């Protein structure tokens, strides 16, 4: 896997779970990392501590990526701190699960704003510096739900499927500027976000996974690290499922 020395990365939703693992992985490969968080400052500072103990460089920036002005401030903070921006990982996400018949408008809006609009906000803000330097790597974290659907998650599924379409459109727009845009679609990964899934649903998912185990945040981070490296310089507009083969079932 290629080194990322000299590169600057913004990872949204990086205080826990997959985002945390991605931030630590990229820092371990030499990138300077902006650790974005929404509310858990203590957790974000713990990520900074881990990175700094590894000899890496990072800064924590609070921002609600679902708010356009916050996303702009996040990207500008990266430029102010490190002078450039090479990598954007749109990972911030939330769930408000309910069957559609019981889903409130607020449940729909909160999930779409964070998971889908957040990626739009951050990508739009990051485009200008990336286009100017004629280099960029953008990875959007979707989900197997965005490919096959999930009952009780119409909002989350719509957002994650939307990310896939968004990725392909933007990849076509910015490819001539040497900017790649790809998707990583995790299967079941035990994190705070998946902690409330019913036990029977988790058991069924594991049973259907050819590799016979849950994924780890590190599994996802490894895939992201590949896609933002020079080794993936000719890969764009792609969906990389990291799910133990679950998407085949």
- Would you please indicate which residues are annotated as catalytic (active-site) residues? 156
Distance of CA 239 to the CA centre of its chain: 13
Answer whether 82's CB lies under 8 Å from 8's CB: yes
CA angle 245-241-63, nearest 5°?
140
Q: What is the dihedral of CA 23, 90, 75, 19, to 10 degrees?
A: -20
CA distances from 72 to 66, 91, 99 (A): 11, 16, 34
Sheet containing strand 87-90, edge to edge, reads 58-62, 32-37, 8-11, 87-90, 136-141, 179-186, 239-242
């Amino acid at each position: 896997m290629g080194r990322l020395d000299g590169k600057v990365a913004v990872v949204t939703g990086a205080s826990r779970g997959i985002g945390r693992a991605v931030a630590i992985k990229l820092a371990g490969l030499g990138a300077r990392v902006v650790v974005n968080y929404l509310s858990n400052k203590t957790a974000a500072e713990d990520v900074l501590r881990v990175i700094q103990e590894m000899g890496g460089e990072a800064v924590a920036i609070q921002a609600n990526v679902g708010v356009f002005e916050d996303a702009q401030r996040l990207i500008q903070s990266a430029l102010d701190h490190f002078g450039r921006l090479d990598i954007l990982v749109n990972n911030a996400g939330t769930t408000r699960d309910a069957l559609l018949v019981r889903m409130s408008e607020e449940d729909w809006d909160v999930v779409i704003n964070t998971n889908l609009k957040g990626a739009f906000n951050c990508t739009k803000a990051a485009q200008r510096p990336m286009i100017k330097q004629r280099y960029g790597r953008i990875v959007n974290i979707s989900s197997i739900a965005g490919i096959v659907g999930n009952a009780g998650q119409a909002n989350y599924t719509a957002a994650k499927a939307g990310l896939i379409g968004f990725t392909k459109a933007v990849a076509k727009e910015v490819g001539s500027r040497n900017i790649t845009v790809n998707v990583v679609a995790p299967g079941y990964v035990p994190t705070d976000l998946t902690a409330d899934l019913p036990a029977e649903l988790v058991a069924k998912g594991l049973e259907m996974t050819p590799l016979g185990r849950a994924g780890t945040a590190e599994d996802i981070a490894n895939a992201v690290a590949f896609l933002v490296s020079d080794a993936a310089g000719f890969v764009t507009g792609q969906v990389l499922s990291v799910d133990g083969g679950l998407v085949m079932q």
